Chain A
Amino acid sequence: MYHKTTPYRIFNVFNICLLVMLSIMCIVPLIHVLAVSFSAKSAADANLVGLWPVQFSLEAYKKTMNNPIFLHSIWISVCRTVLGTGLTLLITFLAAYPLSKETSVFRSRNVYSWLFVFSMIFNGGLVPFYMVIQKIHLMDSFWVLVLPGAVNTFLVILMLNFFRGIPKEMEEAALIDGAGHFRTLFSIFLPISMPSIATIALFSMVFHWNSWFDGLLYLSNAKDYPLATFLQTVIIQKDMSSMSMSPKEMELLSQTTVNAAQIFIGAAPILIVYPFLQKYFVKGMTLGSVKE
Chain B
Amino acid sequence: MRSLQRTWPFHIMLLPAIIFLIVFSYIPMGGIVMAFQNYKPWLGITGSEWVGLDNFRFLFQREDSLQVVWNTLIIAVLKMFFNLVVPFVFAILLNEIRKVGLQRSIQTLVYLPHFLSWVILGGILIDLLATDGFMNRILGSFGIQPIFFLGDNNWFRFTVIVSDIWKEFGYNTIVFLAALAGINPSLYEASEMDGASRWRQTLHITVPSLIPMVVVVGTLALGNVLNAGFDQIFNLYNPLVYQKGDIIDTFVYRTALINGEMGFATAIGLFKSVISMILILISYRLAYKWAGYRIF
Contact = CB atoms under 8 A, between A and B. Distances in A.
Contacts of A109: 10
A32 interface: yes
B123 A20 contact: no
A106 B13 CA distance: 13
A62 interface: no
A18 interface: yes
Contacts of A256: 127
A123 B198 CA distance: 48
Interface stretch (B46-54, B56-64, B70-78, B129-137): B129-137
Contacts of B20: 91, 147, 150-151
Contacts of B268: 125
Contact of B117 (A18, A108, A212): A212
A210 B24 contact: no
Size category, B interface: 35 or more
A156 B256 CA distance: 32
Interface string A92-133: 101101110100011111001101110101111111111110
How would you classify the secondary structure of chain B's contact residues: helix, strand, loop or mixed? helix
Nearest to B122: A236
B235 A232 contact: yes
B239 interface: no
A106 B7 contact: yes
Contact of A33 (B34, B124, B192, B262): B124
Contacts of A172: 4
B127 A36 contact: yes
Interface in B199-228: 201, 213, 216, 223
Given A15-B96, A32-B128, A121-B276, A290 B28 contact: no
Contact of A132 (B27, B108, B110): B27
A250 interface: no
A196 interface: no
B112 A101 contact: no
A132 B23 contact: yes
Interface in A1-53: 1-3, 5, 7-8, 11-12, 15-16, 18-20, 22-27, 29-30, 32-33, 36, 47, 50
Given A26-B166, A181-B10, A236 B235 contact: yes
A119 B26 CA distance: 7
Interface string B270-282: 1011101100110
Contact of A108 (B11, B23, B274): B11
A145 interface: no
Contact of B32 (A7, A128, A156, A260): A128
B121 interface: yes
A184 to B, nearest CB: 9
Interface string A48-87: 0010000000000000000000000000000000000000
B174 A22 contact: no
B17 A151 contact: yes
Nearest to B216: A289
B247 to A, nearest CB: 13
B178 interface: yes
A204 interface: no
B179 interface: yes
Contact of A124 (B17, B32, B179, B253): B32
Contact of B14 (A95, A136, A211): A95
B151 interface: no
A251 to B, nearest CB: 19
Nearest to A95: B17
A166 interface: no
B31 A124 contact: yes
A286 B174 contact: yes
B112 A26 contact: yes
Nearest to A16: B97
Contacts of A266: 119-120
B24 A132 contact: yes
A220 interface: no
Contacts of B190: none
A198 B277 CA distance: 31
Nearest to B113: A26
21 contacts: A2-B192, A3-B98, A5-B198, A19-B97, A23-B110, A26-B113, A27-B109, A98-B14, A99-B14, A106-B7, A113-B296, A116-B21, A126-B252, A157-B295, A181-B13, A211-B117, A213-B234, A266-B120, A274-B112, A274-B115, A290-B179
